[in-house]
Every structure is written in C-alpha cells, then in structure tokens.
Chain A
Amino acid sequence: MRNPVMRAGAALAALIVAAGPACSQSLVGAGATFPYPLYSKWFDAYNKKARVQINYQSIGSGGGIRQFTQGTVDFGASDSPMTDEQMAALKGNVVHIPTVLGAVVLTYNLPALGATPLKLDGATIADIFLGKVTQWNHPKIGALNPGANLPKTDIIVVHRSDGSGTTFVFVDYLSKVSPEWKSKVGAATSVSWPVGLGGKGNEGVTQQVKQTGGSIGYVELVYALSNKLPVSLVKNAAGQYASASLEAVTAAAAGAKLEKGTDFRVSITNAAGAKSYPIASYTWLLVKNDTPDAGKAKSLKDFLAWMVTPEAQKMAADLGYAPLPDDVSGLVRERIKTLKSGGRPIA
C-alpha cells in the first residue's frame, strides 16, 4: 500500500516541478491595506495578461516594510515611505515605486449647514484636532464660512484608532501647516491624539460621525466617494479652496514637482498649485534595486512597467484612486529601466 502512494506523490512532485516554471512565474508581496482593492484587481488582470501569479497579503504598511526587510517577500508595499534608518538596514537596496495616489478628506455632521460644504484651512483643522477650537460657532470657523449657519454646539472629534496610512497622511499635513501640531503631536501611523474618539477603520469613523451631531472625522477619499459622505473643502497652499476629487489629487502630485533621479520618497501634502487638494499622498511598492533571482526580477520589472501604462492607471481611477501625473509615470518608467539582477541589467 505504501508504494503506490509514494509513487503518486513522486509523480505529483515531478509534475509540480516540471509545470512550475513553464506555467507561470509567481511573486509574493505584502504590505499596505489602503491600495489592496486596486492591487488585487491589478494582479488579477496582469495574471490573465502575462501569466504571472502575484500573491499579495494586505497586512499593513509596517508589516510590509518588515517582511520586505527580512527578505520573506519579493516586494513590499507602504503608504508611508521608509525612513533612512530602515533603508540603512537594507544597505540601500530598495527602490520606492509610486503606484497611485490617495487622499484624506474631512467628513462632518452638521445638518444646520444644509448643502453648502464646510470650508476649512490647515490652521483651523489643526486647532480643532488639538482641542483648541471646541465649538462650531468659533470665530475662526465663522471667518472661513461667511454667512453659514454654524450652531453653538460642541465639536466632537473622531479619529482612527487603528494605525493607518490614512492617519499618517492626515497628521503629516497637520504637521506642515501647524507648528504647534508638529511639536505637540507629530506625524506617525498612530499618534497620541489630544482630543477625540477613536473609530476602528474608515467604517468606524464614518459611523461615529454619521450618528453624532456636531462631529468631524477624517476618512480616505475612496471611502468618502463610495459612501457619498459630506466632505469639507480645504484651503490649499495657493489659498484656494479645493474640493477633494481625483483630479485635484493628481494635481497635488503634479504640484510637488519631482526632479530627474528622484527616489520618489516625497510628501505631497500641502502641495503647490491652485487646483491641488492639500491632504494627499503617494502609495508605494518597495522593490529591490538588485533582485538576485533573474526570473523574478524580470517579472517584477515587466509588471511595474505595465502598472504605469494608461490601461492600468485607468483601472485605478475606476476604483477611486487618483492616477499618477504623466511626468511621474515617465520618471517611474525611467527608474524601472535601471533595475538590476545579480549586478546586470534585466533583459
């Protein structure tokens, strides 16, 4: 009885070994949860197109960076760029490839305001989240919203309780526009919030805001769009009120001009440009500059090249992610060409 089983096992093993490389190359990645819906669509579409199987675990940016550093995955993904310290651990063998853009919007519950969107600027948002502006009829909010019916009710602040790239982008923006925020709270994926309630995930924040009169919270643009939440206008660096839209987010990326030879680790919050929406960010794939396995290096390079094509970027827009500006796609294409395998350029 043992022999047939073993023979079958051996045959199966042989089949897998023989079929593996011939059938398809496979890649493993892990990281950010925010772009996961898009990545899974991309990987699926690319598998059908190029017979490359890409498995992606959306375990969070921190986990993505850690697994990539330990070499247990072929590529990582993160909503915040790696720090110099983290890059030193990889001896610089890492390239940040921007894939799409995300934005964070402020959603609120103020029935008295009617259909007029609330207008805010960076300093006021920071004061609200610092607990310095505590009522809606505060003169600072009034000055930004002339003629609006602002009630004399307490502002209830809602933030994310789970560590997230969304939080990072939001507090990165606040750190740029408010020196007090920068010194008191700072920027990270989780921070010590001066005031407010923590909601778990976008859905937790949204429910809390929806149910509580006078509340304000921040969520991802994708989430706000698909749930049709009321969203505030935010004054950008050029002094214009920008509404959060995919175009305004792409404009922000275009506004934060990238030089040739950039490492793409750039923050685009509070970016220049009259149309830029100020609370936006790239999300990145982390790949090795030199991938030893030639087959994997080739597959990865081809995928990255496909990812910046108009076809793939169009898929992003369909799912509510802002596509890269054309010049950034161009820079990415240039950078991919210089990726190596075993010290040699990839064929």
Chain B
Amino acid sequence: MSEPVGAVAEAAVPPSQPRIQTGLGGRSWADLGFRGVLTLGALAVPLLMAFLVWELWVGSRLAIGRYGLDFLVSSAWDPVAQQFGAVPLIFGTLVSSLLALVIAVPLSLGVAIFLTEFAPQAIRQPVAFLIELLAAIPSVVYGLWGIFFLIPFLREHIFPFLRSALGFLPLFQGPIYGQSMLAAAIILAIMVMPYIMSVSREVLLAVPASQREAAQALGATRWEAVITAVVPYAKSGIIGAVILGLGRALGETMAVTMVIGNRHEIAASLFAPGYTMAAAIANEFTEAVEDVHLSALTYVALVLFMVTVLVNAGARLLIWRVTRGAPTGGQGL
C-alpha cells in the first residue's frame, strides 16, 4: 500500500527538493526533531527488553551458578534446604496452557466462524463485543469467580461425572479436591477465548468473498464452502491467533494460582493440584528472604521469559506471513 505513494513522492520530489528545504527551513528542523523523538520511542522498546533480560540474568546468576542446567531437570523445591528445580513448574505451565487451548480453540473458532459466516447481521457485532469484553475483566476477578463458583461447581458436578465416565484413563483418576490442573485450564480457556476469537474473526473477515463464491459456484453448500474454502484460506492467521492465546495463557498468574492448588508435583491426573512458573514467582517473591531463594525465582522468571519469547516469535512469524496475503491463500488451498 505504501509503495505507490513512495514511488509518486520520489518521482515528484527531486526537482523541487532544494526549494522546499530552504523555504521551510524551520519546519524541516521540527521534522528532524520529531523524527528523533519517534526514533527514541521506537528504540525504547528493544532497550527495555534488553534491560529486562539483563536484570533477569543478573538476578538469577547466583542460582544459575549453583544449580546450572540441573534446574531444568530437577523437581525439588525446598526453600529450607535450598534445593530448587523448576520441572514441576515448567510442566504445570505448559500442560495448563495447552489444555486451555484444547478447550478454547474449538470453542472460539466455532464462535468466530458462526459470527462471520452464519449469524444474522444484527447479532454479529453485539456478540463479538460481549466476547471481547471478557478480555477486559481483571484476572483476580476470574480467580475469585473460580474460587467461589467454578471450583465448587466442578467438584460437585463435573469432576465426579468425568471420573465415572472416563475413570479408566489415568487422566481422570484420584481424589477430587476441586483445586486442580483441570480447573486452571478451564479458567485459562475462558481467559484466552476472547483473544483467539477476535483475531480469528478478523482473519475470517479478511477472506475475499470470491473464495466463498467460487466454492459455492462449484456446488458446495454454505458449510462446505466454509470448511473447504474459507477456513483453509485463513489457516495461518488462525494459527497465529491460537499462538497469541497460548502466550497469554503461559504468563497468566493470579487467576491460575487461585485455582490450581499450588503443589510442586507432576501428577498424571488432571484432578491433582499443580503449579505454574508465573504462579510460583508471584507467590514466593515477596517473602523470599534468602538470596538463593530469590535468585531461584528470578531464574524461573528467565525460563518463563524464554518460553514466552519463543511462542511470541512464532506468532509474529505467522501473522507476518498472513499479512503478506498472496502466499497464504495459495498454501491454504
């Protein structure tokens, strides 16, 4: 979009350039200043990022020196004996987030498809607005709702049902406390849904009408047109939306810690309590009196940061590919 404008400007400017510069000397000075300010603003972000990594590195050096990469394979967490390992935390973070996606993706994708393809015009905007509103609710409110409503409901109705219906799987065995990996995943699913839904909705809206028309012209029903022509065309964008949701889930703290049970343990059952990296940091940071304990928590933050960066890099890459347009459609089909 910017190329034609640039080309026109380039063609027009050269002959008149010196005159404009001298004529508007003051303004060009202001332009320069403006440009400088913007550059500083743009540089501030990567600088902040660099400082963040630097601080995390400096803060965790003590723990890195003492535990090294064992930290990533040990599952001990004993502040008294100063034994620290992050495996249950990494496990809990990844499992709760992935499980949240398993729940949230079909749901939000279904809503997005319904809203762009099938819903009556009158309700499309209001429903989308309501779902996006979910993103504005503070996570501590989700957490409280989880403690007071979701957990009792799951413990009394959903979990016993799951255990009796699917109890032959190790995933649904063991005692039911309420506070559990599954409860955390459900809360996370609700929290990431608005992100996935609204990005995939935008992506689906961007699919050219000709895609649908072509499919229907070949005899496809509306449903077949969506499945064979629209969704594949938007595939990369939808994947980007999912990864964005995953990034959100990985870093969520307050709501998760209130419902996950906070136990440094790897359990096969989804009814068992677990722990996540972000939750452990939030829980123990304020009262970590010993230097090593604090440093271990900072090390956890560094690990979490790296996981999140990888996920976000993936999302950026996918979204970049989508905005490039042409190759996506071809690939999708």
Binding site for B on A (CB under 8 A): 33, 59-63, 65, 80, 83, 86, 154, 156, 161-165, 185-193, 196-200, 203-204, 207-208, 211-212
Contact = CB atoms under 8 A, between A and B. Distances in A.
A197 B289 contact: no
Contacts of B283: 161-163, 190, 198, 200
Given A61-B289, A161-B257, A207-B147, A197 B273 contact: yes
6 contacts: A161-B283, A187-B80, A190-B283, A199-B179, A200-B143, A208-B178
A190 B79 contact: yes
Interface string B129-161: 000000000000001000110011001000000
Given A191-B80, A212-B177, A163 B261 contact: no
Contact of A192 (B178, B264, B273): B264
B262 A191 contact: no
Interface size class of B (residues with CB under 8 A): 35 or more
B209 interface: no
Contacts of B286: 33, 59-63, 162-163
B245 to A, nearest CB: 24
Contacts of B289: 61-62, 65, 80, 83, 86, 188-189
B224 interface: no
Interface of B, secondary structure class, is: loop
A104 to B, nearest CB: 15
Q: Which of A193, A200, A208 has the most CB of B within 10 A?
A: A200
Contacts of B287: 60-62, 162-165, 189-190
Contact of A62 (B155, B279, B288): B288
Contacts of A212: 155, 177-178
B179 A192 contact: no
Given A62-B286, A162-B286, A211-B155, A198 B262 contact: yes
B100 interface: no
Contacts of B81: 186, 192
Interface string B67-88: 0000000001111110000000
B288 to A, nearest CB: 5
Nearest to A161: B262
B80 A186 contact: yes
Contacts of B258: 200, 204
Interface in B174-221: 175, 177-179
Q: Which of B76, B147, B175 has the most CB of A within 10 A?
A: B147
A186 B178 CA distance: 28
Contacts of A156: 177
B31 interface: no
Interface of A, secondary structure class, is: loop
Contacts of B155: 211-212
Contacts of A211: 151-152, 155, 178
Nearest to B273: A197
Contacts of A188: 79-80, 289-290
B241 interface: no
A190 B179 CA distance: 20
Interface in B290-329: 290, 293-294
Contacts of B263: 193, 196-198
A196 B147 CA distance: 17
Given A156-B177, A189-B289, A190-B284, 9 more contacts: A59-B286, A60-B286, A154-B175, A164-B287, A190-B293, A192-B81, A197-B273, A200-B283, A203-B147
Given A60-B287, A162-B287, A199 B262 contact: yes
B142 to A, nearest CB: 13
A191 B79 contact: yes
A46 B179 CA distance: 43
Contacts of B143: 200
B262 to A, nearest CB: 3
Contact of A200 (B80, B257, B285, B288): B257
Contacts of A86: 289
A336 to B, nearest CB: 26
A213 B160 CA distance: 16
Contact of B284 (A163, A204, A207): A163
A61 to B, nearest CB: 6
Contacts of B177: 156, 197, 212
- What 6 A-B pairs are tightest by C-beta distance, nearest first? A60-B286, A198-B262, A163-B287, A161-B262, A186-B80, A192-B78
A237 to B, nearest CB: 24
A154 B285 CA distance: 32
Interface string B153-172: 00100000000000000000
A188 B273 CA distance: 22
